[in-house]
Amino acid sequence: MPQLIFFFLLSLPMGLWANDNFEILKKARKIVFFGDSITYGGEYVVFFERWLTVNHPELEPEVLNQGIPSETVSGLSEPGHLRHGFPRPDMHERLDRALKALKPDLVIACYGINCGIYMPLDEERFAKYKEGVQRLKNKVEAQGGKIIFMTPPVYDKPNPKFDYDDVMAAYAKWLVSKRKDDWMVIDLHTVMKKSLAKKREKDPKFKYSRDGVHPGGEGHELMARQIIDFFAVKPALKDPHPNAYGRMMMFLRERMRVQRDAWLTKIGHKRPMGKGKPLAEADKVAAENTERIKQNLETILKVKK
């Protein structure tokens, strides 16, 4: 009987895949990503937006990256970080301004890798992380938005004294446990940990991140895939025109960066960083890239037919 059900599900038309999460995506006119340097780098945001553009051109939400390097949701900063000339930025310092300015329908947040401040698991630090995550959720929902949390990625840097990834695993486990309270949580850490172990069976030296923290392209693609799978109601369109796909990534990336930096500068924060363009100028650059993205989409969809 289970096999019959399985084959029945496989035979369903694409539009009949059951995924209530897609309704959240359909209703979101503005999607904002919050996070640290991994989100600021934003390649997983671009991969997600490419999937959205190609597979659901009818939706057209505005996607904004508002990650900031070094940031925490816990508000903590280790003394050693001051060698950079500043403490770690606290996302709650800017959160109210960001929500007021952006008014997101949907927030996707990925924090944790900095929140344990690279020290062994400690209940006080853990409590700060939990409190920060709860405050973020409360404020997003208070202004009418929905929020999806991603557990932190794997920390993959050897330390003879302790394994910092054990801290990330604990943070991830707690966040996943909140699903019982109807929180929306994507468990990136567990997926990445299993995938890393599998890849190392073939290549013991394989790494998703060279420095143990920041994933490369393959890691960002894995991150994006978890978000895509959270929403997907049909199989993703395969690359029918790789050149057009590559060009689209370039234009999506440029649009993401100019809008990211312009809004970070407009909203304000305490981390020393280069300033973005004025919003009017950034909007012009974004509009030019949007037109290029649409042209590439037409090429891709023609090949699809």
DSSP 271: S
Does 110 score more than 70 pLDDT?
A: yes
- Structure token digits, residue 302: 């023609």
Does 2 score more than 90 pLDDT?
A: no
Could you state, in order of their start, the residue ranges of all structural domains in the chain?
18-304
pTM: 0.92
Question: Greater confidence, 235 or 224?
Answer: 224
Burial 88-107 (b: 16+ CB within 10 A, else e): bbbbbebbeebbeebebbbb
Using one digit for the tens of pLDDT, what is the confidence trace for 51-89? 999 999 999 999 999 999 999 999 999 999 999 999 999
Q: Where are the alpha helices (DSSP H) in the chain?
A: 2-11, 21-27, 37-41, 43-55, 92-102, 123-142, 164-177, 188-202, 217-231, 242-267, 279-304
pLDDT of residue 239: 64
pLDDT of residue 243: 75
Using one digit for the tens of pLDDT, what is the confidence trace for 19-32? 899 999 999 999 99
For 84-97, the three-class secondary structure string (H helix, E strand, C coil) is HCCCCCECHHHHHH
Does 11 score more than 70 pLDDT?
A: no
Of all residues in the chain, what percent carry a pLDDT higher than 90? 84
User: On the CB side of 22, how many CA atoms lie within 13 Å of its CA?
Assistant: 13
Using one digit for the tens of pLDDT, what is the confidence trace for 142-156? 999 999 999 999 999
**Averaged pLDDT of the chain:** 92
CB atoms closer than 10 angstroms to residue 246: 11
CATH classification (class only), 18-304: alpha beta
